[in-house]
Structure 1
Amino acid sequence: MTTQTTPSESPKSPGTPETSDTPAAARAGLVGLPASLGRALATGGGVLTIVSTFLSWTWTTDFPGDLTVYGYPGGLQVLVLIGGVLTTLFGLASYGVRGVRALAPGSADAAVKMAALGTFGAAWYTVIAISVELGGLVNLDPGGVVVAIATLVALIGALALPFTRPEPDPVDPDDTGWELLRHNTRQRWNTFRAAFAADTPAPARPLPSWAEILVIVAVMAVGLTVFSYGVGTAYDELFIGFLITAGFGFAAVSKAGLVARVSAITAKHRNITMIGAFVAAAAFPFTQTSDQYATIGVYILIFATVALGLNIVVGLAGLLDLGYVAFLGVGAYTAALVSGSPSSPLHVHWPFWASALLGAVVAMVFGVIIGAPTLRLRGDYLAIVTLGFGEIFRITVLNMDGTSGPDVTNGSNGISSIPNLNILGFDFGAQHQILGTTIGRFANYLLLMLIITLVVVVVFRRSSDSRIGRAWVAIREDETAALAMGINGFRVKLIAFALGACLAGLSGSVQGHVTYTVTPEQYQFAYAVPPNSAFLLAAVVLGGMGTISGPLVGASLLYLIPAKLQFLGDYQLFAFGVTLILLMRFRPEGLIPNRRRQLEFHEESETPAVLSKAGA
């Protein structure tokens, strides 16, 4: 018999609308507790989690981070504190508390679940790590026990929050036992996924322009803080806790509808957003006390800039290029040959602007030469040909050593001792005092790469919004239909190939000076250290094809995570692969997708909202 919910049993959540005649079975949570009790447990557990971070979690300082201090969170306690604050705030928002409700214009219940799950993961990871590294649960202080219980209670309460269960798929009476098992497993997975799904955000209240600009500034400040904290994690346990907290925290904020609101504001003020992002990135070296982490920053920017160039080829034009890293190598070798390096057979020293332009032009010429005979192919055949081009480039520069071929690239030794840049008297290899902060060599190159990245972003943006950009999208979606509409497919694809190669060559001209040496093995399809063709393609797909911020975020993650997982040794690639599989499983459209690609993967849930916006 179907029972009906009552206000006392299942109070209406502002983020999860329900009617009085909604069956209780359809609104029940994953845990068989009343919704009112679930909200109380989740919110109370969040508050208790905050309190526990001000207690001592272990009695000894042998565990990194010094978790023995009362009244001052440190190390992993800070991450659990952030998770507890998010859980508490979204729990209060699910009650409809005035002032806090604005933090969850989407689904407060789904946000509570994600926040509680992330806080539980970070806290229990810390408790388990303390027990394993120090030799048992006896090493836990009262604070460690309290946080374990508090986060568990908050998670149980969050899982008791109601959600709309999906309609069960009909069962075929002729199904075998294995088919029934697959059917039941799929139905359970759909139910679990629906429990964490967010509702359509409510219509946003318009904000004055000055308030929207302040929102953009705040978002950039938070982004800079999170990135600086992740790069500067001093030990392995802290980085793993950071990944757990940042991942589930972003998911909670997204389920709450804040990401959609911020995206709408940044789309409205695109120029201000781009300037704000540039300023935030430029401030990164000033947040570091040494040049150690600026090294990671400059390599991330090189990787991200090249990925953004590949996004033109793959994301906009839909051309699968598996040898794109070769264009980076063309630019790097070209700039290195005219850099004044003693190992360069040309023995010339051009200024940076000339070598950078030469690297970009030569890479573009190679793009036209390679693209002209191959871009008449499609799909897998084009991918195989571009993969072959990447290997041909590597083998060619390897053999141009004066023995197997002309003496141009010094073979496997490469071009070494590339001098530091000197632009208008500014030596990029020396330390400088800027605004009272000592800026080292890699920080200097990071600021230079920011300018290069800004140029690439402007080119990408202007190209995608132009007539040729719309032609690229048409080719990507349906080349046959685009050709029938009068688009010259070969010319359009060749322009995309040449432009992407030009941007890669521009980045390569800086990479050669940063690394001091360019060698053939740096430009393999799957080199151990990014950027390489495999990682570049993964960065574009993971971040979000066809967007500007997607490849930048994807490249940052794909460079930062392997660099921080080196302590895993032989299991590093395994852990990295599992991470990619999970991201692609739960976010197949990319971390920051465009609207078209998001509809392809979430058509049923997203189409009504998009159609309503289009109608408005």
Structure 2
Amino acid sequence: MSTSTASPAVTPDEPTGIQAVRRRYAHLAWPVALAGAVLLLVGCLLSWNYDTTVLGDLSIYFYPGPLQILMIIVAVAAIVLLLAYRGPLHRLGEWLDVASGLTAVGVGASIYMLLVVVAGGIQAGGLVNVDPGGWVSFVGALLLLAGAYLLPSTDRRDAIHARLPGWVEIATIVVLLAVALFGAAFALGQDDGTIFVLFLVFAGTLVAGLVRCGFFAWVGIIAQKHREVLTLGAFVVAFLFPFTQNGSDANMSIATQVIIFAVTALGLNIVVGLAGLLDLGYIAFLGAGAYVGATLSMSAFATISWKPPFIVVVFVGALFSATLGLIIGTPTLRVSGDYLAIVTLAFGEIFRLAMGNFDGDNGPDLTNGPNGIPAIPDLAIGSFNFGDTHTVLGIPLGRFANYYFLLLVVAAVIITVFTRLNNSRIGRGWVAIREDEKAAEAMGVNVFGLKLFAFASGAFLAGMAGTIKAHQDVSVTPDQYVFLESAFLLAAIVLGGMGTVGGVLVGAAILRLLPEKLRFISDYRYLIFGILLVLVMRFRPEGLVPSQRRRLEFHEDDERLASRIEQVHLEEEGAKA
């Protein structure tokens, strides 16, 4: 990469005044940004707040607290990008869009420091309690943003042409997964909601910077290349997560809810993400599995005397949900679009009302009506009781950790099924139906049969998760399966990325984790949550982790992306040959 000052990259519709400012001060951009990054780093070594009880104690000089360490990481990342733009790391800069990445880092750092100053001042009784270190870091973040904005963009080489030894690529995947593990452990371990929000800003800053500079484009390529390593590593990280919680049942309860939500959303992803069928009553299939698990449990309130082994209950619940899917899908799948959405919405409400009326007075005595089935005992497979605390390597694993491991196995099964279907002839048929149903039918695709199979298979997976959810929740009531839950499942798919496994997992984690951790602003958390969703849909409509096909649908004019996808496809075909 050339180290000489380039002309600023401006869009044709950019105001002339901004163009003039950028050209006039382009020679100052790099030193201003570097000065800002250094000030940001130095400020983190000083005291940020006079009050020792605010934000985890930021009052000690030259002994940074957790929030200061996060900003040190951001400052170091900014300095690395600047040295890649002009300095000893310029060869790295040939592959990165440093200006865009640095701008994202500057925006994130400025928001972070603004929140620290405001929140710290409010909690300590006024901005007068904010120490010089906080102001130094805040000014440094603003200078970093100003310099990054004025920094001229330069051409970069496409990441598809980057060639590194295989072990380096695998090591990169391992490091990123390890960072994700410790980041999740740190986030869940924060009881202070303000610190949790600041951590989200920090994580968003790093991710946005790496995305904008092009690093994640290369990560996506090596992830495709080493797909097996990524999958295995992700499951190892998920398996190790309970060992980072030191026996905390509170955090593991949240993690268990996240994984139940995720595996249910994966089933809906078949219906919506692959086949393109808008199902607004999908939560009913999860409820059907849960009610099967409850009625066949050892609960004193269970209404069926048959008590089969749990593995049998899982398949009974899954098959019952799949049967419901076939019964409902056969007549309703002859309609599409808005009509299908209305019919499935009605089905979800009918299920909830029916479960509330099967009490022996208004209908069969199956569900105890609105009271549901409480006191569902913990699972016991052989001598292993999921309600007991077990110690492994000196680390206590409580009730929720036990269910977490069981659900992890279920998630592995569901992800395997989803991936196999997606890569099969059936999956290609679903995508064809989603893109153009009439064209698919004209090409000989069995449209109705594949749509019905999508409906039934998605219901099967939801029913499987529901049987475990009944035991984990201890009770099952109709009010647990309302339309809002179906809406959240659909939002997880759209937010994360339709038709992908990773996207759905990310979307499910966000939608389940944020409401739990934002309880300190309970009156406004759903408002803030909705605003964030709107912003994501505005600036990244394809989702946070989209498939290559869907990314190209939203960026048809991106020739670099199109050539990258074509190159990856050719390499995959060559590997198969």
What TM-score bracket applies, with the shorter chain setting the length? over 0.9
| Post-superposition CA distance 1:268-289 (Å, at most 9, x none) | 1222211110010111111112
Q: Is the 8 A contact 1:331 1:506 kept in 2?
A: yes
Q: Is the 8 A contact 1:398 1:412 kept in 2?
A: yes
Give the corresponding residue for 2:500.
547
Question: In the comparison of the two structures, how many residue pairs are matched?
Answer: 563
Match of 2:53, as an amino acid?
D
1:362 and 2:353 aligned = no
Give the corresponding residue for 1:607.
559
Match of 1:435, as an amino acid?
L
Match of 1:270, as an amino acid?
R
Give the corresponding residue for 1:281.
238
What is the rounded CA distance, in whole Å, between the counterparts of 1:284 and 1:221 in structure 2? 10
Match of 2:243, as an amino acid?
F
Give the corresponding residue for 1:452.
410
Give the corresponding residue for 1:233.
190
2:482 pairs with one of 500, 524, 527: 524
TM-score normalised per structure 2: 0.93
Higher helix share: 2
TM-score normalised per structure 1: 0.87
Deviates more, 1:494-503 or 1:27-36: 27-36
1:308 and 2:261 aligned = no
Match of 1:359, as an amino acid?
G
| Post-superposition CA distance 1:72-127 (Å, at most 9, x none) | 221422332222222222222222533x7537833111000001111111111101
1:470 pairs with one of 422, 425, 428: 428
What is the rounded CA distance, in whole Å, between the counterparts of 1:494 and 1:199 in structure 2? 47
SS in structure 1 at match of 2:483: coil
1:92 and 2:83 aligned = yes
| Post-superposition CA distance 1:147-188 (Å, at most 9, x none) | 121111111111112359xxxxxxxxxxxxxxxxxxxxxxxx
Give the corresponding residue for 2:60.
69
Give the corresponding residue for 1:216.
173
Runs of 4+ in 1 over 4 A off after TM superposition: 23-33
Give the corresponding residue for 2:573.
none
Q: Is the 8 A contact 1:92 1:101 kept in 2?
A: no
Give the corresponding residue for 1:127.
117
Gaps of 5+ in 1: 1-6, 165-197, 527-531
* CA RMSD, Structure 1 to Structure 2 (Å): 2.3
Match of 2:80, as an amino acid?
L
Give the corresponding residue for 1:515.
473
What is the rounded CA distance, in whole Å, between the counterparts of 2:22 and 2:58 in structure 1? 33
Q: Is the 8 A contact 1:79 1:241 kept in 2?
A: no
Match of 2:5, as an amino acid?
P
Cα gap change, 1:104 to 1:535, in 2 (>3 Å)? farther
SS in structure 1 at match of 2:56: coil
1:143 and 2:96 aligned = no
Cα gap change, 1:445 to 1:36, in 2 (>3 Å)? farther
| Post-superposition CA distance 1:35-79 (Å, at most 9, x none) | 332122112211221221111111221313101112222142233
Cα gap change, 1:145 to 1:292, in 2 (>3 Å)? same
Give the corresponding residue for 1:482.
440
Gaps of 5+ in 2: 571-577
Give the corresponding residue for 1:38.
29
Deviates more, 1:470-479 or 1:52-61: 52-61
Give the corresponding residue for 1:298.
256
> What is the correspondence of 1:49-448 to structure 2 with a 5 Å cutoff?
49-95=40-86, 97-98=88-89, 101-102=91-92, 105-163=95-153, 201-289=158-246, 290-448=248-406
What is the rounded CA distance, in whole Å, between the counterparts of 2:481 and 2:177 in structure 1? 33
1:596 and 2:554 aligned = no
Q: Is the 8 A contact 2:46 2:60 kept in 1?
A: yes
Q: Identity across aligned pairs (percent)?
A: 47
| Post-superposition CA distance 1:569-593 (Å, at most 9, x none) | 2212111111111111111100011
What is the rounded CA distance, in whole Å, between the counterparts of 1:322 and 1:147 in structure 2? 47
SS in structure 1 at match of 2:396: strand
What is the rounded CA distance, in whole Å, between the counterparts of 1:85 and 1:130 in structure 2? 24
| Post-superposition CA distance 1:9-31 (Å, at most 9, x none) | x7149xx999xxxx997995875
2:5 pairs with one of 3, 11, 32: 11
Match of 1:11, as an amino acid?
T
